[in-house]
Chain A
């Protein structure tokens, strides 16, 4: 009697995985998510290659007026630390003559109390919180954002919103 129970217990780890998938037929082990192709947990998908940076130095139009402009150049190894802000060595007011870079906007000199300071305000110090470089990666989800100009210039529907 004891030997029979032991034998069943010993076989359990082998049998269980074979039984479990059979309980949910048709579902499979793949994860359904829009962010990744259907992949079983036991499979090891090959990641896509890292997309190249956009470094063509061409300014990109903003999609809406308040959008932080994106960075059209390489920023590898630019140090943005407590000690040094590499971005400001070109983009701050006093260096734009030598660098011919666009100056950071006046809003970056205004502190949270509305006082305009002589230099960049601490809350705007870490440029990469808002301004980011771009890559040539294709977004996995289609974006149908339209800017305000294309919205107000579309043909009128005459008030008929049905």
Chain B
């Protein structure tokens, strides 16, 4: 197969060995350019990982962010706050890139106004919530466990009910956080047919 004419010239330039540039320049220059571009890429990536970026779309700002502001993950007695990416973006790099690629669909949704009115958002809420439940179920509530770990959980400081449920379901690994703690940062969708996490299995 022959390349078309307009591609031939650029390809020749790239394919021809350097004649005037030294090997040291190319190596070190490539290294420096790598640091520069990689740093730039990661900086841009991290810029999309801030709450301010998330709520720069009105879909996020007017719906889910207003709900988050009323919950304990936004204000609490110790003053620690979980922002959007803390729960919705994995912290490990590979998982983060995978999630960011998935999230490119949200750009599509924004451009074409998939949920640009409260009614549209309410209609899609169950589907969107199920995506997040499935994701957290699949990774064993990884984003919850970035802050909350079963090892550092002092159940003597919990209510009797919470301590009992955590011992029966969490410590045995039988269930994961999201099974019971749905809707902790947002309003829930219509929960018809969603069994609570502590449903005993023979009843399912």
Contact = CB atoms under 8 A, between A and B. Distances in A.
Interface of A: 55, 57, 73-74, 76-77, 79, 81, 83-84, 89-90, 94-95, 97-100
A70 B58 CA distance: 41
Contact of B187 (A73, A79, A94): A79
Contacts of A77: 71-72, 184
B190 A83 contact: yes
Contacts, number: 44
Contact of A90 (B183, B195, B196): B196
B72 A73 contact: no
How many B residues touch the partner, as a band? 10 to 19
Interface string B162-204: 0010000000000000000001100111110001101110010
Interface of B: 71-72, 159-161, 164, 183-184, 187-191, 195-196, 198-200, 203
B82 to A, nearest CB: 14
A83 B199 contact: no
B196 A98 contact: yes
26 contacts: A57-B160, A73-B159, A73-B161, A79-B187, A81-B187, A81-B188, A83-B187, A83-B188, A83-B189, A83-B190, A83-B191, A84-B188, A84-B189, A84-B190, A90-B196, A90-B198, A94-B203, A95-B195, A95-B198, A97-B200, A97-B203, A98-B196, A98-B198, A99-B196, A99-B198, A100-B164
